[in-house]
Amino acid sequence: MKKIYLFLLLATISLASVQSQILDPVKWSTSVKKISETEYDLIAKATIEDKWHLYSQEVPPDGPLPTLFTFEKNAAYKAVGKIKESKGVTEHDPVFDMVITFFANSATFTKRIQLTGNKGTTVKGEVEFMVCDDTRCLPPAYVDLVFEIPAPQKTESVVTTKNTDNIKVSEESTEIVEDTVVVDTLLETNEVLNDTVKAASDESLTALEQNKKQDKKGLWTIFIVAFLFGFTALLTPCVFPMIPMTVSFFTKQSKSKAAGIKNAIIYGIAIIVIYVVLGAIVTAIFGADALNALSTNVWFNIIFFLLIIFFAFSFLGAYEITLPSSWATKADKQADRGGMIGIFFMALALAIVSFSCTGPIIGYLLVEAASKGGIAPFVGMFGFSLALALPFALFAAFPGWMNSLPKSGGWLNTVKVFLGFLELALAFKFLSNADLVLQLHWLEREVFLAIWIAIFGALALYLFGKIKLPHDSPLSHISVGRLSLGLVVLAFTVYMIPGLWGAPLKLISGFPPAMNYSESPYGVGYTKLGSGGGTSTNEKFPEGAYLGPHDIISFHDYEVGLAYAKKIGKPVLIDFTGHACVNCRKMEERVWSEPKILNLLKEDIVLISLYVDDKRPLPDGEEVISKISGKKLRYIGQKWSEFQILKYKANAQPFYVLMGHNEENLIDPVGYTPDVEEYYDWLQKGVAAFKK
């Protein structure tokens, strides 16, 4: 017994020394609010560290684990209604690639009860929850909740609170009643105990810095894409012919070259101001957060889809989108006034007259930027207008450059049609978002890719001159440039075809639905875990093994896998993973699928995949007491999660350990490593260390 206590003490000290690696981003506190003489609200509040998300009680299939409350049956009270939760944030989750309701900073859950007698009682329960940040998820956690209800005749209008850090629940076998229905809103209460927020660990701070870098990277991406859209808009039939007209105006109106350059700069700035103000207005009307929420709402995704389809058919020549001609007339009249005001209205006239070509581009750009939230629409409009304004300003300042411009002609309509096909394809991304939220499975990965293959195949035929659309000029031959572009589009179309049979298609990753949202998540012919079948090696299929991703022999039990590794003389790769771990799936799909890595995993390593969110109960007769909490573990996943924490001082997934037969690390463990070469080098060094 003394040895056991000594071991527990050493384990506690060890855990404390590496606290920065053990992530514990959620703290729970409980309180009780009196509603009437017999009714009380049981309130559980979660305080969540920055950048971490706690999920709602109701999430889509194949998403994260929902927050679940269970309560011991108690004859002293009865439940009144369902558990309510405070209003969360509903938006696209980059980890799970779906729209999910989650909580940031804090969340409050309320369960109303009614006492059935004249005595007070203690309500005992448990909350099971999962938390993620933008790049990883932690295994399911279980926290005891205790609510002290005083006897009715002794109660006053007070609230009792309890911090769950000090709660201990009896390990007696009890009958559990589940209550998981969610409502949309909850009246917040000021009486809830404010729990002390745990300081972020070193690893959490690193993740925070990475998230900030990702935000900046996202804005730069929006700017660059918008800048390219601006140059593309310049090559449309509504805008390109305006360049010589603008140059002619400044040449005639400016008394000197210096005045011409000054007026050209003012003109360019005016164009930028007009479009940036448009982006600012869109953000101001809806608000940055509202834009983000709207863009991930299922119905708004459907509206965006229809809107972009409308724009796309306009580019293809079905109809033209124009603003009222009276607007252009009024702007022209103001432009005749001269001076800075006249130049500004010239820029406004350009924006109005060119709207039939720039409108669809701006519409798509604003929708896409809105999905990023924040100041993305503002940044997007700045990039677009900068690209549009630069040529006008430069040619107006240096008219001699005009001689190098190609003449207007049918190629301008070709650019417009090209954009129409492109918008037609991109529109289906929004329809896919709606399908993912509703989980209709109408637009699974294969269907999405089939649509894109058809669209880009038709675009290739158009560029080769095999398809003609309204407003196309008679075509006796095609230019070398058009042929080259057609070949690029055709090659892209052919590239997508293997995706129908499970190819990862890394070039367009993020556009089609994830591989698990598919008729065959791991490709045609993939054998699911536990289904049996042949192996990928010449060895006999070992007892206790399963077929993992890409038919890699995998063990789900540590002891069984280690014994097999010793038997055949190979090192062990422990894969701490989870069924709801999306980054684990990304590693399997994008990194493990690489031939040189796949060969190592199949031929030189014994893979042990331990699922920390495995909700199957532990086998009968196997009793495991947590060395961390002192509680009895109930699920297989809890066992592997505790094993990871105690042995490797980490609790995030994916987490990879290469070890020898004496359970020694061959190389330092790693987490999510999307870089193929980096992961391959790590595997090679570990295998080489084992062979020494």
Q: What is the pLDDT of residue 671?
A: 87
100-104, 396-400, 457-461, range with the lowest pLDDT: 396-400
> Per mean pLDDT, which range of 179-188, 326-335, 626-635 is the poorest?
179-188
Question: Helix, strand, or coil here: 591?
Answer: helix
Name 357's bridge partners. Answer: none
pLDDT at 199 over 60: no
**Model confidence pLDDT, tens digit, residues 649-673:** 777 788 999 999 999 999 999 988 8
Where is pLDDT greater, at 562 or 271? 562
Structural domains in the chain plus CATH codes? 26-183 (2.60.40.1250), 214-302+320-443 (no CATH), 545-691 (3.40.30.10)
Quick one: how far is CA 197 from the chain centroid?
A: 26
- pLDDT score of 113 more than 60: yes
According to DSSP, the residues that pair with 121 across neighbouring strands are 149
pLDDT band at 301 (very low <50, low <70, confident <90, very high): confident
Q: Is-contact 613 130, C-beta < 8 A?
A: yes
In the numeric block, the tokens 């052919």 are attached to: 494
* Cα first-last separation, the chain: 40
* Model confidence at 370: pLDDT above 70: no
> Could you write out the DSSP letters of every residue in 420-477?
HHHHHHHHHHHHHHHHHHHT--SS-HHHHHHHHHHHHHHHHHHHTTS---TTPPP-SS
Structure tokens at 282: 């869109």
Locate all alpha helices (DSSP H) within 510-668, ordered by sequence: 558-568, 582-586, 595-603, 636-648
For residue range 540-561, list pLDDT tens digits in order.
678 888 888 888 889 999 999 9
State the Cα–Cα distance between residues 549 and 558, nearest whole angstrom: 18
The answer to whether residue 574 scores a pLDDT higher than 90 is yes
> How many C-beta atoms lie closer than 10 Å to residue 559's C-beta?
10
Distance CA 499, CA 524 (A): 10
Compute the half-sphere exposure of residue 200: CA atoms within 13 Å on the CB side of its CA.
15
- pLDDT at residue 392 tops 80: no
Q: Quick: pLDDT tens for 575-627.
A: 998 876 767 878 888 899 889 999 999 999 999 999 887 778 888 777 778 77
Quote the pLDDT of residue 242. Answer: 66
The answer, yes or no, to whether residue 73 has pLDDT greater than 80, is yes
Instruction: Looking at mean pLDDT, say which of 15-24, 146-155, 350-359, 648-657 comes out highest.
Output: 648-657
User: Mean pLDDT throughout 8-30?
Assistant: 58
Residues 433-447: what's their mean pLDDT? 79
pLDDT tens digit sequence for 308-328:
788 788 878 887 766 556 655
| pLDDT at res. 493 | 96
The lowest-confidence range among 100-104, 376-380, 552-556, 589-593 is: 376-380
Average pLDDT value for residue range 217-233: 77
Structure tokens at 199: 């300081």
**Contact yes or no for 70/48 (Cβ under 8 A):** no
Task: Please name the helix (run of DSSP H) or strand (run of DSSP E) that holds residue 691, with its range, or none.
Answer: helix 676-691
The average pLDDT across 223-251 equals 71
Mean pLDDT over the full length of the chain: 74
Whether residue 138 is predicted with pLDDT greater than 90 in this model: the reply is: no
Nearest of 337, 547, 512 to residue 428 by alpha carbon: 512
Average the pLDDT over 513-525 and give the result. 64
pLDDT confidence tier of residue 178, bands split at 50, 70 and 90: very low
User: Among all chains, which residue has been given the structure tokens 């675009």?
Assistant: 459
- The residue that leads in pLDDT, 351 or 645, is 645
Strand order in the sheet with 141-149: 141-149, 121-129, 68-72, 176-178
In percent, how much of the chain has pLDDT > 90?
Answer: 17
Beta strands 606-611 and 553-555, pairing class: parallel
Please report, as a single letter, which amino acid is at residue 103. Answer: F
**Cβ-based neighbours of 286, under 8 Å, separated by 6 or more:** 294, 370
Query: Would the pLDDT of 564 be above 90?
Result: yes
Which residues sit opposite 542 in a β-bridge? none
Is the pLDDT at 180 greater than 80? The verdict is no
Average pLDDT over residues 250-257: 62
Per-residue pLDDT band at 445 (split at 50, 70, 90):
confident
Cα–Cα distances (Å) from 509 to 211, 503, 643, in that order, read 20, 11, 34
Could you tell me which residue, 648 or 203, shows the higher pLDDT?
648
Q: Bigger pLDDT: 519 or 94? A: 519
